[in-house]
Chain A
Amino acid sequence: MAGHLVRLKLALLRNGLRRSEWQQQVGLVLGALGGLPLAAGGFLLLALVPRAEPRFGLLLVEAVFLGLFLGWLLFPLLSFGGDASLDPARLALLPLRPGGLMAGLFLAGCVGVAPLCTLAALAGGVVGFAPLGPGLVLAVAAVLAQFALCVVGSRALLTALSRQLRSRKARDLGILLVSLAGLSVSLAVQVGARMAERWERLDVEALRPLGRVVGWLPPGLAARALVDAGRGRLLAATVELLAAVVVVLLLGWWWWRSLDRVLTTAEPPARARSRPAAGLFPRAARPFLRADRRGAVAAKELRYLARHPRLRVAWLTSGLLALALVVAAALGGWDHPALVLVALVVVFMLSQNSLNQFGWDGPAYWANVVSGADPRDDLAGRNLAAMLAGLGATAVLAVALAAVTGGWPYLPVALCLAAGVIAVVLGVCDVVSVRFPYPVPEVTSNLWAVQGTGQGCLVGLMQMVAFAVEGLLLLPVFTLVGVGVLVWRPLLAVACPVAVLYGLVVWRVGLGMGARWLRDHQPELLAQLSARRAG
């Protein structure tokens, strides 16, 4: 049984490589290589630092062991939908007993890039701490106990939560958390760099109480066993190691119970929440939308802005960026009133989502094609939604910045210029989005996945070209604004109507070009949006 499951895991890894195009294979290999720096970093940290700085020894090992344990608990939860070997319900119809299945799943869990990298990092602990003699045996056992803790803890938690994780809401939340994790990693790297600068001044004693708490957590027990084995306190190391093994056994018991429950009890039917009948048109947008084709498309787009998990991520990221800007302005004492105009940059970035306006529809675009509606109305509806959302975001951010900097006179200027900027961007997007569309996967474990066959590179290239064209088209507006802010302020009063008119002209030209092409190529666009998902 165990052999079968290990072979299954190896086959899944192999087929994951074989199924995809060469571009994705390169991506997968690079992704796997991405684990190498982490493994090497962990190894060097555990192998070298305790020898160089003995006073950090225990704290450092505790922190690394805890980090690894939490990583093993959290990341499989986020990639649950993407790894077929993680879901025990897929094996529910086979005549298997939980004991044999557990052994097989444990061994399968030890196969792959993440387990290899973890083992490599933990091996640094043996190099860093283990003396020759009986202490070496204990140190190796402590490292293996930590590894077992990671694998068994991860599988136990996954199995216990497997039903919840299969729900659509959990998958949506997963996508949101992955993006937040990405942001928090970059934040943690920055904070870590600051901490490293102050490393010399750091009062290690202040961290001791925290260390004592961490030391009693399961990974802390293994860490203490390793450090005590290294320092020759064999009895203490043995007791701590035994405690860690007991924790592994307890987690194994929990896993066994959960597995038994998943394999033998029927899944209750999912209960979906029924929303109150608010209608297609969002309440806040009703004054701006008519109940016609254009209005329907715009209303659908606005609903998707709020409900599509990946659009939510885009808006959340921009929202956090904007919040950081406002906080930085408030704390940093930036009080130049023209700072309100920085809202334009955030809105410019946000409106880049329209470069792939049809991608969010994906294959569901057939409904628009078969309706026989004029593609111009379709495009204009999408533009209307982007304009409403963009102006709303500008208004909120500009008001916040004006409140911080006192630049209230710049508020109407920011709104007028935003209308112009968004219109220019949409003019470009109307051409690009019909000529170079790509379907956006509805739910996937890979937040940055591009659906289709090897389109990632071309899509990236086209978006860069589009970005450059937008920049060139916006250059006159930004020049006017720059001169207005820095040299002659009354020029801003002229810049506002000029920007709006200029935006309107560029938008009409782009809309016309996009609609004209789309009228003759709707089936081809649909085919591109229905591309089979690869990788």
Chain B
Amino acid sequence: MATRKVHIFGYGKHGKRIASGLRGSGYALHILEQDADLVKKAYADDYVDVDQIDMTDDDRIEALDIGESDLVVCVMDDEHFNVFVTLTLRQFHPEVEIFSISDSIHTAEKLTMAGATKVIDLYDVSATRIHNFLNKPVTTHLMSSIIADKRGISFHEYTIPEGSFLHGRNTGEIDFAKFNILLLGIIDRELGNDLIFITEGINHKLDSGDVLVFMGKDDDLTRFEETIKRKTI
């Protein structure tokens, strides 16, 4: 993966986790925080690119070097600032992808309106989990290991690379069971950028650039990652 820069606004409870999660996965991290103590903490955790800025200072945020393919994560502990910074950034960088976490019920909507690309609604996600505890014990078990990032069964997505054997084939004619993985969904670039679940029964023509979502054991998924690059199998 090319070195994309991730700008993380806020080094509070979420910022810390996200930064450590992204560390070592090929992203360049840039942490921005307005609280002096948290800035110190970020330095103490060995992050080099840390800035202390005033989030209400438009000029300062405009001056930030945010490239078009960069990612922005707005996860300050104060949700008001998240909305505010999202709005400011959207104004200066209409194309950049902005991710945020909504910490209370009505913030998700506000963040989306402010222009966030992807909002994780903390309460929505958790409420779903409680429902699953009650309704779908097996799924819960499965999902908790996926969410906790343990080895086992998980989901994975692959973009079909140039020259892959999958290029030009139909979903129906490839037996993924051979690789011990299941194809769940596809983003068929010919049809748009939305995820389509494979259960529709429609045969998709695969092209390089399409994204496939698989479910399987981690080892099998890792193995498939190599296979997908090959011209033939």
Please determine whether chains A and B interact with each other in the same assembly: no
